[in-house]
Each structure stands twice: as structure tokens, then as C-alpha cells.
Amino acid sequence: MSKEKTAGCVYLVGAGPGDPGLMTVRGMELLKRADCVVYDALSPLQVLSCCKEGCDLVDAGKRGGNHTLSQEKINELLVKKAWEHRCVVRLKGGDPFVFGRGGEEAQALQKAGIPFEIVPGVSSALAGPAYAGIPVTHRSVASQLTLVTGHEMDGKNAAAVQMDALASAPGTKVILMGMENLRELMNQLQQEGQAPETPAAVIQWATTARQRCVRGTVSTIADAVAQAGIGSPALIVIGDVVDLAEELSWRDRLPLAGRRIIVTRSREQAGRLSQLLSELGAEVISLPTLRIVPPADKRAFAEAVVNARHHDWIVFSSPNGVQKFFDAFFSVYEDLRELGGSRIAALGPGTAAELRKHGLMVDVMPKEAIAEKLIEEFDRREDDFGGLEHCSVLWVHAQQARRIIFDELTKRKAIVDECIAYDVKPADSSLATRILENGADLITFTSSSTVRHFVAMNLHLPENCRVVSMGPVTGRALQEAGIRVDLEVPLHTIENMVETICRAEKK
């Protein structure tokens, strides 16, 4: 019996104004499980890298006018995609219902009988001023906020903005989509009675590394903006609150403010690196370079996990190995004690941190995540453990890991069994290409396999983008690939990488 086909749900999700940290938890959750994502020019591209493997990514609006889909076409597309997929995310910059035409899309879905949900987002209208140090309301300065579009000021349509009412409104005014008419708008406001000396600001690319803010007054702002060469996307803020930026502009004070840094996602993951860099004010874009897939021999992997407890040592080579190992382990056992009393070694601090999440401390770990250093550490600690001779070791690693650990442990007369926990393949390059097209100040590489995958994806580095390489093995891989390294991070640790970047970027 054939089942009647039902339509999937379309989620109109606000992606926030640019900083991926301003996306909501609900939005992120949906993005991770979406089968299809329809996004447009102002959705922050980097959030798309969390989409699952095989997600149907549709660009519904390239900036600059070429390829832009008409609203009608987008509405049709959403209906079509809802019939093809279970979970369709329509990702929109800022909030979907704030000048985002989300209302029209929801109406089209309603009309077509497609279920939909709205996930509000942080609007640029509020976050933009906040990131420039301008509180849109303030108890002693402004108790009213008027939000308007700068696009509908010609009075032709019934919903058009009434300039006289706008000029006489007290408090703060925020104008979106007003850059094309900026001068005209400021003139009209003054004609309608707005005091020419009212403070005004224009904030471009708010909440991203490219954020720029120009301040002046209603009578001077158009010239100031022209002089600074600021264009769209930008928003206009008018009102006395603008002067508070003098005291409150917090973002420019951060050491990496204004830097756009691409973090190539590696086997060791890049979460911590991204977090540290963005806390220092950088705009961090995580670039997927690889996909983690199951190992070629799944049965051998499962058997190795089940029998892990019979080894004297378990050596974990990467955080991913730890994750995959315990995913498999807990699908068989319920109790961590089934692991037995094996000693545990980790290739580096990242791997040890992942083990700690499972309540396991490591017995041996080098300070840097390098196979040779792990072997040195085993040798140095020989007396503590009575050497490796006749010890059985389970080595948990990726399909194409370097053989050093196997060879060196075998040389020391250990019996090494392998547990190949996952395989690594290059990521699909289309998203990465789009991310790189937007330019960057720095790009980081933390492992040689990431370099290899980056090269395999046939990507081009943005112009003037400097390359940061962590550790000598990564450096060599870059050199072999013909990529010039601008910044060498001497130690193979994330902290050292962040330190090196901060030192180099000191203004």
C-alpha cells in the first residue's frame, strides 16, 4: 500500500545580524537537522557549516543582483522543497519578520497548506546599535524607539513611512535599508522639523569583523558616510543615544576586533580555537575541510571496542577517535567499568579533554599533540609503568593516521592492536568556496591532514589573507602544497596559536 505523501515543515529562522553567536539555540538546532536550507545574502554563511552531510543548500539571493530570485520564485521554491524534504529551514538575516518578507513567505506557505514555524532572530535593528555601543533606549535619554524602512518613503504606497510623523517622533529612530536614500532622507527629516544637530550614526556590517560605525548629526552624516566610503548593508540610528557610544563602544577595545579569521576545521575539531578567538573580538569563520565517515571495516572496529578491556594500554590519537570509540562502547555496554583497568594514553591535551568528558584521566600525554612526542613521553615515564615490553596496546585512530605510534611501540616490544574508529574525507567544496570569496585576514591550519584536504578541495586563498600554521608537521605540509606560511606557531597547542596571533596582530 502506498503511503500518501505529506509535506515537510518549513521553519522561517532568523539567523541574526552576522555574528554566528547571535543565532538562537532553537535556530541552530533546526539548522543541524535540516534536510534543506534556503538562505540569502544576509544570512551569515559560516552557520551553514553545521548543516548535516548531504543537506540541500540553496542560495536564494546572491548579493549584487545577479541570480537574485524574485520573492514569488522564493515562495514557490519553499513550497516545492517542503514536498521534497521533511525539514526545510528558510534562513533569513536578523529576524524573519523585521523587513525580511518573512510574513509574505509564511502567507504563501499557509496558502499552499504547508506547515510552518517561525523562529525569531536577533534583528540588526537592535544588535547593530548594541555592537556599536549605542543603547537604543536609555532611561534618561530615550523612551521611545521608532523602526522604519528607508525604502518606502515615496508615499506611493499606503504603508509608506510618513516623514512628518517620523521627524516629530521623540526618542530614537532606526532606519533599515536606508543607505541608497541617505542624503534625501536626512534632508526630508530636517524639512519636516527634525533638529539638524540631532546625533546620527551609520553602522555597516554590524556584528561582523567588517563592522564600521560613522557618527555625526542629521545634517552631517551623509557627508561623513560618503567620505568614509560606507555602503550597504548598513543601518541608520538617529537620536541622542548615539552620543553614548563615546563611553560605551565596547567592541573596538578587544585585541582582535575587526579581524576576520578563517579556522579550517580539522580532525581535532576547532571549537576551542574558534571560541578563544571570538572572545578576543575576532569574527571567526569555521571552514569545513573534511567529513568524518565510518571506517571501512565497521565490524573490526566494533570488535576492537568490545574487546578493549583486554589491553594493558589504550592509546587515543584524536578527540574524534575518543568520541567514536565511546559512541560504539556505550551502544554495547552501559557501565564505564566494562572498560576494565587499562592504562590510558592521549596524543595531546585536546584528546585528553575529550577523555575527561567520559570521566577518564590519562596516564601518559605529551604537551603537544605530536606522535613523536607521545613516544618520547612513554620513554620518559618508562620507570613509572615498567616499560612496554609484552604489553598489549589498543591504538584508537583514524584510517590514515601516520604509522609512527604503531612502529615505535612495536619496536619497544609491545603487541599493538589497531582500532580504526573513523575515516576522513575532504568536505564538499561549494560552501568553502563561498566563504573564501568573502575574504579574510587570517586562515589557520592545525594539522597536516587539514592541509591535504584543503588542497584536495581545490580552493583559493583570499587575497592578502595570511596563513597561520601550528607546529612543524603542519608547516611542512603547507610548504609541500606550495602555500606560504606567514605565521608559525612554535608549540602544537591552541593556546600558543592564540598567543601568536594576538602578538602578530597587536596594533
Positive or negative, the CA dihedral 438, 440, 446, 449 is positive
- Angle made by CA atoms 454, 460, 465, in degrees to the nearest 5: 100
Q: Which of 8, 17, 199, 319 binds ligand SAH (CB under 6 A)?
A: 17
Residues between 284 and 313 that touch ligand SAH (CB under 6 A): none
Shortest Å, Cβ 248 to ligand SAH? 18
Alpha carbons within 13 angstroms on the beta-carbon side of residue 161 total 23
Q: Quick check: 207 binds ligand SAH (CB under 6 A)?
A: yes
**Span of 83-91, 201-209, 419-427, 464-472 interacting with ligand SAH by CB under 6 A:** 201-209
Q: Which of 95, 105, 268, 441 binds ligand SAH (CB under 6 A)?
A: 95
3 state SS of 207? coil
Q: Which of 28, 50, 177, 491 binds ligand SAH (CB under 6 A)?
A: 177
CB of 236 or CB of 276, closer to ligand SAH: 236
Helix axis angle, 448-456 to 471-480, nearest 10°: 20
CA 445 – CA 484 distance, rounded (Å): 12
Shortest Å, Cβ 162 to ligand SAH? 20
Closest CB to ligand SAH: residue number: 94
**Per-residue x/- mask for ligand SAH, residues 122 to 141, rule CB under 6 A?**
-xxx--x-------------
Q: Quick check: 206 binds ligand SAH (CB under 6 A)?
A: yes
**In what side-by-side order are the strands of the sheet with 172-176?**
145-149, 172-176, 234-238, 199-204, 212-217
Q: Which of 203, 218, 270, 375 binds ligand SAH (CB under 6 A)?
A: 203
Q: Which of 7, 12, 15, 18 binds ligand SAH (CB under 6 A)?
A: 18
Shortest Å, Cβ 89 to ligand SAH? 15
What DSSP designation does 292 have? E
3 state SS of 62? coil
Alpha carbons within 13 angstroms on the beta-carbon side of residue 299 total 0
CB of 238 or CB of 305, closer to ligand SAH: 238
Residues recognised as catalytic: 40, 62, 177
Task: Give which of 73, 47, 44 is closest to 60, Cα–Cα.
Answer: 73
Within 8 A by CB and 6+ apart from 405, the residues are: 315, 317, 347, 371, 374, 375, 395, 397, 416
Q: Quick check: 258 binds ligand SAH (CB under 6 A)?
A: no
CB of 12 or CB of 443, closer to ligand SAH: 12
- Angle made by CA atoms 93, 225, 245, in degrees to the nearest 5: 75
CA 24 – CA 15 distance, rounded (Å): 8
Q: Quick check: 94 binds ligand SAH (CB under 6 A)?
A: yes
Shortest Å, Cβ 40 to ligand SAH? 9
Q: Which of 11, 39, 116, 205 binds ligand SAH (CB under 6 A)?
A: 205
Task: Using CB under 6 A, count the residues that bind ligand SAH.
Answer: 25
**Span of 228-236, 311-319, 406-414, 454-462 interacting with ligand SAH by CB under 6 A:** 228-236
How far the first Cα of the chain sits from its last, in Å, is 70
Alpha carbons within 13 angstroms on the beta-carbon side of residue 478 total 22
Q: Quick check: 40 binds ligand SAH (CB under 6 A)?
A: no
Q: Which of 176, 285, 355, 501 binds ligand SAH (CB under 6 A)?
A: 176
**Span of 67-75, 118-126, 245-253, 391-399 interacting with ligand SAH by CB under 6 A:** 118-126
The answer to whether 468 and 497 have CB atoms below 8 angstroms apart is yes
**Span of 200-208, 256-264, 312-320, 359-367 interacting with ligand SAH by CB under 6 A:** 200-208
Q: Quick check: 100 binds ligand SAH (CB under 6 A)?
A: yes
CA 383 – CA 399 distance, rounded (Å): 32
Q: Which residue shows C-alpha cell 514536498?
A: 83
Q: Quick check: 233 binds ligand SAH (CB under 6 A)?
A: yes
Q: Which residues bind to ligand SAH, rule: CB under 6 A?
A: 17-18, 42, 92-95, 98-100, 123-125, 128, 176-177, 203-207, 232-235
